[in-house]
Every structure is written in C-alpha cells, then in structure tokens.
C-alpha cells in the first residue's frame, strides 16, 4: 500500500435530519460530495448523525416506570435507526466511492444478530472503493444514554491501515477511558477520530491531551443542532421549553500530534472544516515520547484486551 504523507481531511459539523433516516442519508451524501470537491481524503461526521443524538428526550422514563408515549418515541427512534450493512450503508458507500475518500460516520445501529431490539451508538468506516470496512460500537453509553443504547464489546475496536495512515475511533466519553485509549495507541492509530456530542470547554483540553499522549492527529467532530430540528410530534417536546434554542453549539476541531490546534473549535454554525495533514509530524513528535514504544514499560504495566465477540449462546 503506497503511503501518502500529505493530504486534506474534512470534519463535518452539521445537524441531523432528526428521526428521518432517509433525509439523513441524503444530507450525508450531499455533504460527502461537498467535501470531496475540496479534495478531502478523509471525511468525518459526528456521533449519532443518523438518525440523531436524542438530546433533551426522556422517552417518558423515570426510575421505576415508563410511559406509553415514551415507548412510541423510542419506536420512532428505533424505526429510523439502521442495520449494518443495509440499504443506508449502501448509499453512503456509493457516495464514498464517488468521492474517492474514506468516510467515518456516527449512526444508531439496530442489532441484526438476533432480536434487533437493541440499539448501538456506532461509528462506521467506509473505504474509497465504497466498501464498508468495519464498525466500532460504543463500549459504554453515558448517563441516560444507557436507557436507549446497548454496550459494544471488544470485537469492534478496529484500526484500519490506509494510504493516509492508520485510522481508528472512540466515541464521545469513551475518550475519557484511559485503557480504551491505550488499546488504540497500541494498534498504532495515527488519525484518531472522536465523534462526540460534548461541546463543553473541558472537551477541547481532552482532545489536545489525546493528541499529545498518543502522538497522533485528532479529528473531533460534533453536531450543531437547534430545537427546531426536532419534530413537533415527539412527546418530549414539552421538556424542550426549558432548554436553550441552541442545543449543541458545535466545537469541531483538528489537533496535531503536539497538541496544537490546526483548526480551532468552531461554534454556532453548520460548517465543514478542513485541515492539511502531514504524517511526518507524527515521527517528529515521537522523538521524545512514544507511548507504546520507548516511553512504555511493559515490564511494569500491561493491558489485556478481549476482542472476542460476546454471545449469549455458543452453538457447537
């Protein structure tokens, strides 16, 4: 595989077509095409871009009870989530092929192994040939997310070898899990992709820390979303009255391997941000710190990663 040291990446800061996977796929395809016109070789989308990050929605649940209206909200969310692979991934793959780019996108995935009842917050990876390379399911949903998303396992912790370096991803607050980061570093991740729903100031310090710790380029991608993007018919609509009009302010950014912003966090709008990457900067940065090389101590610290798919039933 011939390596390309200098190339452009695109980080798509945009809001979802909430609870509408068909419109979500169309918007995704349009934005991939727009980024490709700037010759972006890696195009990144936010967490849960299709069908949405359900910010502000309770699904009618409080401790000890659920509501019928909330179940209908969940059904709408479930019904607009996607199977992987499926017709939606086919369309995104075609767009990646047309763009001749790697595409990483956050989706909500229906489990297609058994009941299909469980949803996962997932990052999908597409190659420039249009093929679905693989996926990463979020290992630990945060807070109330645990009500609506299941947990991934170690079978979906990929890092992909590409002409543009090794690409991998952890989603949102997984990036606060030191051992998850350590697993990514040990796989040699160079383009570290962090789709998120977090736009607090502390998040940007985390992105800079990861870049310095892993000596990698970090692409952080968040949505810009407002209350009017959510359909009127969801039962949680009344709860939105106390929320600010701007639900997610954005904050997408790109950081170099020494922790410097190549692109500062962008707030308050939908925008595709672009950055020029030079992979030589990784080796330069590792002169004095290589977290899994000369700065590691495997005689003192070791990490065991279970990459086996976890199953309820094993058929022999």
Q: What is the set of active-site residues? A: 47, 138, 172
The CA angle 87-92-96, to the nearest 5 degrees, is 145
- Neighbouring CB atoms inside 10 A of 147's CB total 13
C-alpha dist (Å) from residue 87 to 81, 95, 105 = 12, 13, 15
**69 backbone dihedrals φ, ψ, rounded to 5°:** -65, -40
84 token code pair = 């992987």
User: Are the C-beta atoms of residues 162 and 189 closer than 8 Å to each other?
Assistant: no
CA distance 42 to 315: 40
Cα 137 from chain centre: 9
Beta-ladder partners of 160: 167
Which of 157, 160, 154 shows the shortest CA–CA distance to 131? 160
**234 backbone dihedrals φ, ψ, rounded to 5°:** -70, 145
97 token code pair = 């092929």
The DSSP code for 50 is B
170 token code pair = 């952890």
The alpha carbon torsion through 114, 117, 121, 124 (nearest 10 deg) reads 40
Instruction: Give me the sign of the Cα torsion angle 17, 23, 28, 31.
Output: negative
Which of 186, 12, 189, 180 shows the shortest CA–CA distance to 101? 12
309 token code pair = 């798919």
CA distance 247 to 226: 5
């Amino acid at each position: 595989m011939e390596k390309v040291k200098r190339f452009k990446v695109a980080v798509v800061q945009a809001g979802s077509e909430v609870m509408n996977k068909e419109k979500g796929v169309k918007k995704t395809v349009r934005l991939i095409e727009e980024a490709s016109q700037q010759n972006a070789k890696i195009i990144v989308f936010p967490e849960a871009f299709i069908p949405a990050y359900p910010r502000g929605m309770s699904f009618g649940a409080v401790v000890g009870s659920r509501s019928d209206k909330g179940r209908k909200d969940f059904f709408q969310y479930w019904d607009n989530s996607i199977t992987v692979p499926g017709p939606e991934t086919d369309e995104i793959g075609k767009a990646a092929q047309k763009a001749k780019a790697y595409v990483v996108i956050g989706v909500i995935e229906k489990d297609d192994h058994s009941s299909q009842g469980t949803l996962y917050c997932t990052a999908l990876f597409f190659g420039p040939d249009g093929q679905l390379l693989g996926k990463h399911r979020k290992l630990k949903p945060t807070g109330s997310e645990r009500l609506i998303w299941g947990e991934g396992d170690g079978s979906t912790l990929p890092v992909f070898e590409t002409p543009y370096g090794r690409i991998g991803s952890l989603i949102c607050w997984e990036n606060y899990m030191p051992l998850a980061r350590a697993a990514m570093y040990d796989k040699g991740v160079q383009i570290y992709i962090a789709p998120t729903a977090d736009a607090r100031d502390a998040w940007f310090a985390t992105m800079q820390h990861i870049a310095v710790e892993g000596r990698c380029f970090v692409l952080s991608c968040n949505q810009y979303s407002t209350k009017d993007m959510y359909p009127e018919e969801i039962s949680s609509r009344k709860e939105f009255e106390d929320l600010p009009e701007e639900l997610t302010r954005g904050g997408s950014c790109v950081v170099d391997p020494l922790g410097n912003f190549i692109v500062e966090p962008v707030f308050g709008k939908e925008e595709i941000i672009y950055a020029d990457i030079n992979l030589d900067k990784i080796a330069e940065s590792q002169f004095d710190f290589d977290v899994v090389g000369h700065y590691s101590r495997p005689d003192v610290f070791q990490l065991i990663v279970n990459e086996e798919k976890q199953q309820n039933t094993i058929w022999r």
